[in-house]
Structure 1
Amino acid sequence: MSSVESRQSVAIIGTGMAGLITAYILRNDPRARFGVEVFEKQQKLSLDSASLTVKNNSGTEQRVDLPMRAFASGFYDNLRRMYDYLGIQYGSQRFIFPFSTISDTNSNDIYTRFIHSSHIHQFPPLRPQGSSWASWLVEALYLLVCYLWMVICSFFIEPKQGDDSRPSETFHQYVARIRLPQYFVKHYYLPIMSAVTTCPHDALLNFPAIDIVNYQAKTFRKPHYTVIGGVSKVQDKLSKGLNVRYSSAAIKVENVGSKVQLTWKNDESGSTESKLYDHVIMAVTPDVVRAIFPPLRSALSVIPTATVPAYVHRDFDRLAKCSQVVDGGIHPEPGLPPPERIHLCSNSSSTEFTHEHLSSVIITTSPIIPIDPSKIEHTVTFTRTLRTPTSRKVTNEIFGPASQSDGDLKQWRNGDGNVWVVGSWCWDGMVLLEGCIASALRIADRLDIEVPWAS
């Protein structure tokens, strides 16, 4: 089955992390059984399409990843194994997190409550300027007790799982059950987890508690890493030699006899084309899947998505108060890059995630404080898939083991009719990059493809 004529034809829709990993796995099948064609609606691959190259204050060019691609060991084990196999270089990165509160009535009224350094690389913790030693010490001890209680609970108090009679426990219900203080939840835990998930507080509180608790347990005391040179290095490795149809937006996926027909529109010519394949794999968000694949239109309607804006800018004045309380207390360590500051500025409903990049630009996600339009250099929006107990149940029925699929979706499961879906949301866990690899490995297992880094 090594000749081109005898290969199974595969179309992959989307060139994000999930699409490129799946294409790489299929193209490198040891038995060479698959011919892969990839469809991308943009004129470039999407994994690195939002990122940009900027010059720092010394004139050196640096790559800025959008969204931020930091990852922690423990949770991202499949991602790290793949990076190691591909020869992707990554290094440990230290962060400093000022936690600040923004007034709901005046966005210029900002109060920095505490400054946390990842893995306590700054000890004792930095004290915000203007905060008395007594108030700072009380806040630090309070946070230590609350955090330790949350960690203990994440290891020993399991969130309640759902069944046919009741949904899974939400994070809001879980923190109430373990009696985690609301002050800590509102001003510290929700802001840091909102930065991880890029979603507002209400949506985060409605996440299945098992997602957040598992993430907490797996990343406890684990270092964070970033790819050296940016995620473009990963994109180059995965896409080398890949056959890509650019400016080709998928319109419909449907079974025709024993084949799968993909219909797409060429944005350059305006023409609509169709082609039959042995397999079609959709590596896109659930809102796109339900638009192009009718069998999942109803089921995926319960999986919410949100649009998340991000800005690259040089408006340093907007965070002057937050920066002043940090400056002067950071201790550099020989041989290590300086820590990067990530400001978590929250009002009563959401958190603004502002990253002071080492390249001298600022990346602000979901801004609350206004940004000077004249200082904005780049703007992008992302589609974030949210999680709820209902969407978790539907996802497990579509993508989980057969034993979990005893609900209303028996008429279609991932792979039926040789139609597949992969992505960060296509597994039972936080919607992060690890889900991309996990869902791609599941397809490899179903198609009996040996994946070198998975062994």
Structure 2
Amino acid sequence: MGANEPRKRVAVIGTGMAGLVTAYILRSDAQGRYDVEVFEKQDKLSLDSASYNLSAQDSAGKQAERLDLPMRTFAAGYYEGLKRMYDYLGIPYGSLRFIYSLSNMPATATQQASPYYMHASNNHQIPPLRPDGLSWAGWLIEVCYLAICYYWFKACCFFVPPKTVESCGAEETLRQYVERIMLPSYYVKHYFLPVFASVATCSHDALMDFPALDLVDYGRRTFRKNHYTVLGGVQHVEKKLSENLTCRLGTEVTAVENIGTKVQISWTDTRDGKRSERLFDHVVLAVTPDVVGSIFQPLRSAMAAVPTTTVESVVHRDFSKILDSSRSLWKQVNLKPGDSAPHPLHMCSNATATETIHEHPSSALITTYPITPIDAEKVLYTATFTRVLRSSTSRQIVNQIFSQHRSGEEKSQLWRNGDGNVWLVGGWCWDGMVLLEGCLASATRVANALDVEVPWMKGSFL
């Protein structure tokens, strides 16, 4: 940067993973060309805002703990950008020992769910655990059937590409893809949908409307890869990314508008109602599509076609639905000296959805996407968050927004990322599952466009 060249002013709206990563990268510019200011509607940064501090009293006399809501596990192979960033920042992560139990919702509220299959993460329990009530012969048949279906789907992920608009002129949904590859309906209902609906945090029907490419790509890239989680919680990530960050908390942005060569932000102070506005050289929108559409007029119509849903995570002590299945899990676990206690994760499904119940070692339960009533007197905390979903239509819209190819006619009709120095980042701002890796990919895209080197993409982190 020239000695007399003024620094560019950049506003980042939103302090989730995408917003904080983008702000960190631009503030780390080796040439010092950018002054970054972050806007957040809440009175605290949002990356860790939904998490819960479990007091020593709540954790049955144990040390107070921070519970991540939602749980943020990640897999090697798919989350390569996230993993490189954690390594660069020195964020500790490891492979927790999860035991997944799959069950169907009981017919009556007085019955408990009975698992029909149990699986240990990263295969730390070999052979698989056998649920109570299932004979050895029945269990062996189930395991063999599951193995055949699982490896058939994985083979299809590598050798049977989904149809896309780019390849065939039409987008193939997940529903159409599993029918085309003849994945058995029993496997789809009892294994495929519960697991992937838990990853995507949505109903079974919503998942089946996803572009098949999303799930196939995820299945291919995570095959035989370990899963990890940040040790001590995502609070450590938030702290690292926000060091020396200039942040306006309690400011609700109401409009983003192009004014000449600048971008104007209008906002309201959530504490005193005062309205303000300011001009910036660049504005980065690190918020969900519904919020983008409400504050940025050029994308109002397009964002209405990107589906979202509201998801709940509940911290509670209502053990009434899992006591029997937990006993079934624990009595089969073979712990060696020095092994950490496994984390049971119960996936219980009805015909339309799957709820997950995480038995935390602190003796608290965390239910995400609850579909059965939880005793209100045993609820410690409830968090709600917006989940961005995928569809064939939304995939086309997102890909058009981030496409690098445009004709003269398209330029006048369709807003593209970066037009008027306005940028989009987020887990939904790439062609893939709406997960944390999308946050890193979209933040990197902005950095590349502004000619800023991403710290963890150089040297030994390349």
Give the shorter-chain TM-score range.
Answer: over 0.9
| Equivalent position of 2:445 in the other structure | 442
Moved more, 124-133 or 401-410: 401-410
TM-score where L is the length of structure 2: 0.95
Displacement after TM superposition at 1:6 (Å): 1.1
The letter of the residue matching 1:397 is: Q
Distance 1:410 1:454, change over 3 A: farther
The letter of the residue matching 1:32 is: G
Displacement after TM superposition at 1:324 (Å): 3.0
Q: Is 1:369 the counterpart of 2:372 in the alignment?
A: yes
Once the two structures are superposed, residues 107-128 of structure 1 have per-residue CA deviations (whole angstroms, 9 ceiling, x without a partner) of 7353321111123221111111
Distance 1:288 1:151, change over 3 A: same
| Equivalent position of 2:252 in the other structure | 249
Q: Is 1:38 the counterpart of 2:38 in the alignment?
A: yes
| Equivalent position of 1:400 in the other structure | 403
Give SS of 1:250's match. strand
Displacement after TM superposition at 1:399 (Å): 1.4
Q: Is the 8 A contact 2:112 2:320 kept in 1?
A: no
**Structure 2 CA distance for aligned equivalents of residues 105 and 173 of structure 1:** 33
| Equivalent position of 1:23 in the other structure | 23
Distance 1:112 1:252, change over 3 A: same
The size of the alignment, in residue pairs, is: 455
Report 1:115-126 matches (<5 A).
Answer: 115-126=118-129
| Equivalent position of 2:270 in the other structure | 267
The letter of the residue matching 2:295 is: I
| Equivalent position of 1:9 in the other structure | 9
Q: Is 1:144 the counterpart of 2:147 in the alignment?
A: yes
TM-score where L is the length of structure 1: 0.96
Give SS of 1:110's match. coil
Report 1:220-259 matches (<5 A).
Answer: 220-259=223-262
| Equivalent position of 1:132 in the other structure | 135
**Structure 1 CA distance for aligned equivalents of residues 353 and 372 of structure 2:** 12
CA RMSD of aligned residues (A): 2.0
The letter of the residue matching 1:37 is: E
Q: Is 1:176 the counterpart of 2:179 in the alignment?
A: yes
Once the two structures are superposed, residues 343-362 of structure 1 have per-residue CA deviations (whole angstroms, 9 ceiling, x without a partner) of 00000000001111122211
**Structure 2 CA distance for aligned equivalents of residues 30 and 336 of structure 1:** 44
Displacement after TM superposition at 1:248 (Å): 0.2
2:337 equivalent among 334, 339, 345: 334
- Identical columns (%): 53
Displacement after TM superposition at 1:424 (Å): 0.3
Q: Is the 8 A contact 2:13 2:285 kept in 1?
A: yes
**Structure 2 CA distance for aligned equivalents of residues 432 and 17 of structure 1:** 10
Report 1:19-418 matches (<5 A).
Answer: 19-54=19-54, 55=56, 56-103=59-106, 106=109, 108=111, 110-163=113-166, 166-402=169-405, 410-418=413-421
Give SS of 1:220's match. coil
Displacement after TM superposition at 1:168 (Å): 1.4
Q: Is the 8 A contact 1:357 1:363 kept in 2?
A: yes
Distance 1:287 1:409, change over 3 A: farther
Displacement after TM superposition at 1:310 (Å): 0.9
**Structure 2 CA distance for aligned equivalents of residues 104 and 18 of structure 1:** 42
Unmatched 5+ stretches in structure 1: none
Give SS of 1:46's match. coil
**Structure 1 CA distance for aligned equivalents of residues 284 and 380 of structure 2:** 35
